[in-house]
Amino acid sequence: MRVKTISVGRSSIRQAVLAALAMASAAAYAQDEAADGEDTGALATVRVTAERFGANLQTTPVAVTAVNGEQLEQRGVTNVLNAAAEIPGIMITPTQGSNTSARIAMRGVNQSTAGINFDPAVGIYIDGIYQPRINGAFFEFFDVDNVEVLRGPQGTLYGRNSSAGALKIQTLRPSFDWTGKAEISGGNYDARGAKGYVSGPIVDDLLAFSVSGVLRKHDGFIYGTEYGRRIGDIDSRAERAKLLLTPGDKFEAELSVFAIQDYSEAGVPVPLQVLPGINMPAANGTFDRDYTRTEMYGPFGQGFINNTGSALNLRYKVSDAFELASITGYGNQRTYSTGSTLWVSLAQQAQKDAGQDVTAPSSNEGRTSDKYYTQEFTGTYTSDKFKGVVGLYYIDEKGKSRSTTANSPTIDQDRNTKASAAFAQGTYNVGAGVGLTLGIRYTNEKAEFTQFYRQLLGVSQSASKTFTSTTPKLGVNWQATENLFTYASFTKGFKSGGFNPIPPNANTGVVGQVGAPTPYDPENVKSYEVGAKWTTLAGKLRINVAAYRAEYEGMQLPVFFPGTSTIYTSNATSGVAKGVEIEPTWQVVRQFQLYGNLAINSGGYTGPFICANEFGAKVDCSQNDLVGLMPTKSLLGFRYTPALPVSGQFRVNGSWAYHSTYFNNVANAGPLVKTEAASIYNLSLGWRSDSSMWDVNLDVRNVFDKHYSLAGLQLSNRVRPAVSAYPNSPREIILRVGVNF
């Protein structure tokens, strides 16, 4: 077995080490309050629900990062994409060709393609409800109470499609006291936005409500020379309403309904290199070009995402130690898209040379629908000697993808999935500060898939397969001293299997056998982790460290169908990722706090497999680095609240985020496809009135206007491949004015 070590330059290591010495955890809920009203500047206790019940972050034997809504606002973190820098070892970028779908990679596992036929490796949960599709994942944060990110496989407590980790977003709970806030914002690129939240009682001490909404618009960051305007406009909005029923001390019910509408334009790439015969001088075959302009032409993608759903959380407190809970969820996501040009073809070049319109919308329209229902029942028990949870889980998901044009070559697809699971996990305190953890989850999943190639075969083709998985967890933790908590664990996780849509005319390697839906198995991972969480006696410095080794079997990678150039997903090989993650927090003085994180990773494939290089040649890729695994990622930030002789409180937040070079394709081939190392600096200035009624914030993201290729997409060619770059966001300046009541 071989694991290739990724080398990191001395300057990167030096930057990372310096950052580690001064960094403070993005997980910290830093507050300056102490008992009896005396201000000591000690860090506040952070409560998390990583193990399905409330616990102190510093005594939770899991690598978890948590931030609250106020911190997100102060740092100018407005959506999932912005939140990436706050979390060690995670990569979050848009999927190629989209402004709204997320590619999330963590600890060597990622999923870069959106759609009904592709499952994520990082599970996203909103108010306890699993979100199965990454389409529309860049939703705005507008009524968030807290965000928790669990790193590493969460197969025991969270189940399928959390083999890399889980992202949990909890929205604000309705209040029995009238409260609310509103905010308007504006900035460069014609940015404008609005947020609102109000909550209060309907019946005192019995029924409360909350309603919230957000609107965000701005022009695209890239000027399309062929389109004559900025392209990639953002236009999104979302609404949520909640009811909270508390008829007594033992029972409560919380109902939430939400809607998200996203009419943003498709992401349009910047050409770095074009195919032979394409006349585009600006695509010079290097990274050295203007990323604010694109010479790309072809059909311009249009579309929308409409996402509606609901969540019903029921909790019944049987006793002080035992609680029963039910979480019921429903979602319905609809998308429409005309597709978008990723590379310019020779046919498009010929059309342009002939004076034809090469920017007309595509007639290849497509629609998708994904409906899901989830139900979970849990029972939790907590005492001084034992704490644990048992549960049952069920999901029924129905996805459809349709072309709306009769002669379209696009495939029609149906994917139906029904999965059920039973799980249990408990930790027993054996004495001397030592706890032993044992957990297990069994999942049974049936997948059904139907494909219809209307131009190749007059009938649809269907297949089904059942997948099962057992994901245990073993762990031990030790409260070595009052301020030092250590743990070690072994866990398993998996990413769901699925089906490849194989065209009927594909060469299957068997005479007389036409192409048909072909299944691939789940991707499995074994993870070993050790960690330590330490807090000083004065409570002003907190350092959390985790080291892990993840061993993957049946990695779902794109490979060639035998005898053809058709790429499909296969359990191609095995791999290993390992690394160290550090999250220190330092309240230097009452007015000044440092925060940040550091992750150093390495990894590689450990079995032979074939993939395609930039020239389309099939090569052995077993010596390559894991796609999407960052060797080094770090954040250094600060929060300063100076005591000035003026009305109100001023605050300054700043951060430096760094990532090293990493690869965006399995082959590690084509130097323009990788993402180069980059440093991004952010700054936020804020003022709050003495009454806490008014808030004014000036956010500057990417202060020095750094431009680079965030992700590259490559089309192989025997002579010269085409490479399109999706740039990072340029400098954004946003002024926000808010009122609290």
Neighbours of 170 (CB within 10 A): 18
* pLDDT per residue as tens digits for the range 67-88: 888 888 877 777 777 777 788 8
For residues 112 and 224, the model is more confident at 224
Q: What is the mean pLDDT of residues 232-249?
A: 94
pLDDT, the chain, mean: 86
In this structure, are residues 458 and 417 in contact, taking their beta carbons and an 8 Å threshold? no
For range 262-279, the mean pLDDT = 90
Each residue of 713-734: pLDDT tens digit?
888 889 999 999 999 999 999 9
The H or E element containing residue 72 is helix 69-74
Length of the chain: 741
Q: What is the largest CA-CA distance in the chain?
A: 86
Residue 104, CA distances (Å) to 98, 190, 215, 595 in order: 14, 28, 24, 23
What confidence category does residue 96 fall into, taking pLDDT thresholds of 50, 70 and 90?
low
CA distances (Å), 630 to each of 232, 478, 579, in order? Answer: 27, 31, 10
Provide the 10 A C-beta neighbour count for residue 239: 18
Contact residues for 105 (Cβ-Cβ < 8 A; gap 6+): 90, 91, 92, 121, 122, 164, 628, 629
Two tokens at 411?
Answer: 């495939």
Please report which confidence band the pLDDT of residue 16 belongs to, taking 50, 70 and 90 as the band edges: very low
The CATH fold of domain 10-740: Maltoporin; Chain A (2.40.170)
Q: Which residue has the higher pLDDT, 515 or 14?
A: 515
State how far the Cα of 61 lies from the Cα of 46, in Å rounded to an integer: 14
Domain residues of the chain, as ranges?
10-740
- Helices then strands (H, E): number in the chain? 4, 42
- Structure tokens that stand for 494 in this block: 């998996």
CB 110, CB 104: distance < 8 Å: yes
Distance CA 258, CA 120 (A): 22
CB-CB contact of 28 with 588 (8 Å): no
pLDDT at position 515 is: 85
The amino acid at 622: S
**Sorting pLDDT into bands at 50, 70 and 90, what band is 36?**
very low
Helix (H/G/I), strand (E/B), else coil: 608: coil
- Give the model's confidence band at 10: pLDDT under 50 very low, under 70 low, under 90 confident, else very high: very low
Asked whether the predicted pLDDT for residue 18 surpasses 60, the reply is: no
Nearest to 687 by CA among 654, 731, 641, 741: 641
Given a cut of 80, whether residue 563 has pLDDT beyond it is: no
- Residue 136, pLDDT > 90, answer no
Task: Please return the burial class of 244, using the count of CB atoms within 10 Å of its CB with bins 0-12, 13-18 and 19+.
Answer: buried
**Hey, what amino acid is at 229?**
R
How is residue 290 annotated by DSSP?
Answer: -
Place 409 in a pLDDT band, splitting at 50, 70 and 90.
low
Q: Output the pLDDT for position 32.
A: 37
- Give which of 496, 506, 494, 512 is closest to 451, Cα–Cα: 506
* pLDDT band, very low/low/confident/very high, at 560 (cuts 50, 70, 90): low
Query: For 650-703, how does the pLDDT look when each residue is reduced to its tens digit (9 = 90+)?
Result: 999 999 999 999 988 888 888 898 899 999 999 999 999 999 999 999 999 999
Residue-wise pLDDT for 599-632, tens only, equals 999 999 998 888 888 888 888 888 888 888 899 9
Digit-coded pLDDT (tens) for 331-374: 999 988 776 788 888 988 998 999 888 887 766 678 889 999 99
pLDDT at site 222: 94
Q: Which residues pair with 451 in a beta bridge?
A: 413, 461
Q: Report residue 728 CA to chain centroid gap.
A: 16
In this prediction, residue 20 carries a pLDDT of 40
Distance CA 370, CA 100 (A): 16
What is the pLDDT, as a whole number, of residue 112? Answer: 64
Give yes or no for a contact between 330 and 373, defined as CB atoms under 8 angstroms apart.
Answer: yes
Q: Name the band, by pLDDT with cuts 50, 70 and 90, for residue 12.
A: very low
Element (H, E) at 382: strand 366-382
pLDDT over threshold 60, residue 116: yes
Average pLDDT over residues 271-281: 93
CA distance 484 to 52: 23
Confidence bin at 407 (pLDDT 50/70/90): low
What is each CA distance from 311 to 243, 331, 375, 381, 421, in whole angstroms?
A: 11, 9, 10, 23, 19
Question: Residue 424 above 50 pLDDT?
Answer: yes
